[in-house]
A and B are shown apart, each in its own frame.
Chain A
C-alpha cells in the first residue's frame, strides 16, 4: 500500500519588540536571570496587563503578509496550565477572536507550487525558562522570557513532506523578516515549531492518528524528525509494530528517535476563557490603514524589479533580496548615487566583507543607505580613492557619520594639487631608476611598483587615472 503524510505546523515566532506584551519589562534575549521582570510578568496577584501596541501592529503585519483576514475586534483569553515556568498558572493568548484568520502562504518545491492555508495567527505571551538542578534536586526558574510577545501561526494540514515543510518555514521566515516582525532565529529560539503529523493510505480522505512533536528549532532536525515519524507510523499501520495513539512526542536529535512525552491535552483541559482584565482590542480604520501602508514589497517582487528595472544580475538581486536590511540600504544608496550596479557591488562585496569579519548576518547591517550613497558619489567623482573609501566604510559600521566630513577630517580627500603629484612622481622615479629602465624595457609590472609607491606617499589621495598618466609622462621625459 502507498501512504501519504499529512502535516500541519504551529510556528511560534518571538516578535521584535523592545518591551514585553503586557508590561514594560525589556523583551531582549538573554540578560542575567530574572533581570527583566516585574510583578506583572511574575504573576503577582492584583497586577493588570496593559497591551503593547507594537505587538498588535506586528500581529496585524504578520496577518497581512500571509494574506489573512484581520479581525478588527480581537480579544485575549486565558489558557490554564499549571507549571512553574508560567507564574500566573495561565497563559494569556487568543482563542475566540485571534488577530488574523484564513490566510495562505505560497511555497515552491521540486514538485511545483503549492498554496498552504493558514488557519489563524494569534498573539500570546511566552513562558519562562526552567533549569533542573541535579545537585539540590530542585528546579530553578528564570522569568526573563515570561511575557515576551509571540505570534503563533497555525497552518491547516496541507503539507505532505519534509521538503514542503522546509520550503514553508523558509518562506515564513523570509516574509516575517522582511516585514520586521521577527528576526526568526531558530538557533536562539525566536522561531520554534510544533509538527503535527499523521499518515494515511494514499487518496484516503480520512486522517490517521496524529502525533505532535513540540519545540523543534532547527530545519535539519525537523527533516529528520518527519522522516522518522512517517516511517514509524507506516510501520505501525502496515506491520502492527505498535498501536498509534494521539500524543505529544519529544524528538531526540542525537538518538535520531522520537519518544512519547505525555498524552495530548485536548482544548477542554486548557479551559480557555475570555481574559476579564483585557478589554477587546478594536482596530479602527486609521490603525488598519497605517499598518497596510507600512507593508514591504514581497521579496520576489523586489527581485523582479531589481533585475528588470535596475538591470542587476540574478545572483546580485538574490543576495540583496535575501535580507530586508540589505534592500533598505541598497535602495537608500541608490536614491543618492543613482548607480544600481555600484551600490549593489558595495553592498555585496565590501559591506558583506565587513559583516563577515564581525561575524554578523546581513540582517544586522546598520549602516545608513543614504551615507553609503554619498560615499559612492565621492568615489565616482574622484574625490576619494577606493582604498580610503573602504576605510570610511569600516568607520561607518562603528558610528553614524557623514562620509564627506569624515574624509576631510581624516585627510582622505583626493588632492587636485598636480604640483604635489608631480613632485612625488619625480622623487619616485629618481629613487628607482631600475624600475624606470624595466618599464621602458617592456615590463608593465615595474610601473605598478612605482604607482604603488607614489600612492602610498600621497596617502591614497590621488585620482589613480591622473597618477598613472603623470607617471608615464615623467618616465617618457626621463
Chain B
C-alpha cells in the first residue's frame, strides 16, 4: 500500500496516525500483500465463490409494520434534540 492511500484512509476514517504508527501499518500491509500474491497465483477458474465460511443462511421476517418504540424513549440519550429532530452540528455539502 502506498502512503497516499493510507493518508486517504486515515481521512475517510477520521483517524490521525503518528509517523511511526504509519510505518507499522505500511509494514503490516506489505506482508499481507505478499500473502495475497501467493493466493492470487492459485488457479481458481472453476472454484465456486465462497460467500460465507459456514453453510448457513439468514432467517427472514414477514413484512409487518410494528411500532415498538416512541420517539421520546429513543431520544432520551440524545445530546441535543429540537422539535422531535436529532440536532447535530451543521453539515452542508
Tell me how far the C-beta of B73 lies from the nearest C-beta in chain A, rounded to whole angstroms.
Answer: 9
Interface residues on B, range: 35 or more
Question: Do A280 and B75 form a contact, CB below 8 Å, given A53-B63, A136-B87, A261-B93?
Answer: no
Q: Does residue B58 face the partner (Cβ distance < 8 Å to A)?
A: yes
Please give, as numbers and ranges, the residues of chain A lying within 8 Å of B56 by CB-CB distance: 279-280
Q: A34–B74 contact, CB under 8 A?
A: yes
Instruction: Judge whether B62 is part of the interface by a CB distance below 8 angstroms.
Output: yes
Nearest residue in A to B63 (C-beta to C-beta)? A54
Q: Mark A131-146, 1 if CB is under 8 A from B, else 0.
A: 1110011111111000
Q: Is A52 an interface residue (CB 8 A)?
A: yes
How many A residues touch B, CB cutoff 8 Å? 55
**Nearest CB in chain A: distance from B66 CB, A:** 4
Stretch at the interface among B25-33, B37-45, B77-85: B77-85
Query: Quick one: given A34-B71, A34-B74, are A53 and B61 in contact (CB under 8 Å)?
Result: yes
Task: State whether B66 touches A19 (Cβ < 8 A).
Answer: yes
Contacts of B47 in A (CB 8 A): none
Query: Is the CB–CB distance between A138 and B88 below 8 Å?
Result: yes
Residue of chain B at shortest CB distance from A149 = B63
Q: Which of A17, A33, A51, A140 is within 8 Å of B60, CB to CB?
A: A51
Residues A34 and B58 in contact in the complex (CB < 8 Å), given A19-B64, A269-B8: no
Instruction: For A271, give its contact among B12, B63, B74 (CB under 8 Å).
Output: B12
Distance in angstroms between the alpha carbons of A222 and B14 in the assembled complex: 35
Q: A18-B63, A34-B74, A262-B93 are in contact. Are A269 and B51 (CB under 8 A)?
A: no
Q: How far is the CB of A411 from chain B (nearest CB, A)?
A: 41
Say whether B68 faces chain A, with CB atoms less than 8 Å apart: yes
A109 to B81, CA, bound (A): 51
When C-beta atoms are compared, the residue in chain B nearest to A135 turns out to be B82
Tell whether B34 is near chain A: CB-to-CB under 8 Å: no
A143 to chain B: closest residue by CB = B86
Partner of A24, one of B68, B84, B88: B68
Whole-angstrom CA separation of A50 from B60 in the bound complex:
6
Q: How far is the CB of B59 from chain A (nearest CB, A)?
A: 7
| CB of B52, distance to nearest CB on chain A (Å) | 5
Task: List residues of chain B with CB within 8 A of the CB of A38.
Answer: 68-69, 74
A281 at the interface (CB under 8 A from B): yes
Residues of B within 8 A of A18 (CB): 63-65
Give the shortest distance, in Å, between B7 (CB) and chain A (any CB): 12
Interface contact A56-B60, CB-CB below 8 Å:
yes
Residue A75, interface by CB 8 Å: yes
Chain A, residue nearest B70 (CB): A35
Q: Is the CB of B57 within 8 A of A282?
A: yes
For the complex, is B91 an interface residue (Cβ under 8 Å from A)?
Answer: yes
On chain A, the residues within 8 Å of B69 by CB distance are 37-39
- Measured between beta carbons, the chain B residues less than 8 angstroms from A278 are 58
Alpha-carbon gap, A34 to B86, bound state (A): 9
* A458 CA / B50 CA spacing, docked (Å): 77
- Chain A, residues 101-123, CB within 8 Å of chain B (1/0): the string is 00000000000000000000000
B-side contacts of A137, CB under 8 Å: 90
Q: A26 an interface residue at 8 Å Cβ cutoff?
A: yes
In whole angstroms, what is the CA distance A33 to B74 when docked?
13
In the complex, how many angstroms separate the beta carbon of A78 from the nearest chain B beta carbon?
Answer: 13
B42 to chain A, nearest CB (A): 19
Evaluate contact between B64 and A26: CB separation under 8 angstroms.
no
Q: A19-B65, A138-B90, A140-B83 are in contact. Are A53 and B60 (CB under 8 A)?
A: yes
* Pair A280/B57 contact, Cβ less than 8 Å: yes
For A141, list chain B residues within 8 Å (CB).
85-88
- Residues of chain A with a CB closer than 8 A to B9's CB: 271
**B92 close to A (CB within 8 Å):** yes
Question: Which of A36, A139, A143 sits near B91, CB closer than 8 Å?
Answer: A139
A42 at the interface (CB under 8 A from B): yes
Q: How far is the CA of A18 from the CA of B66 in the complex (A)?
A: 9
Check A24–B64 contact: CB distance below 8 A. Answer: yes
Q: Judge whether A25 and B67 touch: CB under 8 Å.
A: yes
Cα A271 to Cα B75 in complex, Å, equals: 30
Cα distance, A32 to B70, chains bound together (Å):
12
State A75–B58 Cα separation when bound (angstroms): 10
CB closest chain-B residue, reference A129: B85
Q: Which of B5, B14, B59, B82 contacts A138 (CB 8 A)?
A: B82
Contact in complex: A138, B58 (CB < 8 Å): no
Interface residue A83 (Cβ < 8 Å from any Cβ of B): yes
Contact A96 B12, beta carbon cutoff 8 Å = no
Complex contacts, A50 vs chain B, CB 8 Å? 59-61
A-B contact pairs, 26 of them (CB 8 A): A24-B64, A25-B66, A35-B84, A51-B60, A51-B61, A52-B61, A56-B60, A73-B57, A97-B49, A97-B51, A132-B92, A138-B80, A138-B90, A139-B88, A139-B92, A140-B82, A140-B85, A140-B87, A140-B88, A262-B93, A268-B5, A280-B51, A280-B56, A280-B57, A282-B57, A282-B58
The 8 tightest CB contacts between A and B, nearest first, are A140-B85, A54-B63, A282-B57, A53-B60, A279-B58, A141-B86, A24-B66, A26-B65
Given A19-B64, A26-B67, A53-B61: 7 more A-B contacts, CB < 8 Å: A34-B85, A51-B59, A96-B51, A97-B49, A133-B82, A268-B5, A281-B57
Interface residues of B (CB under 8 A from A): 5, 8-9, 12-14, 49, 51-52, 56-69, 71, 74-75, 80, 82-93
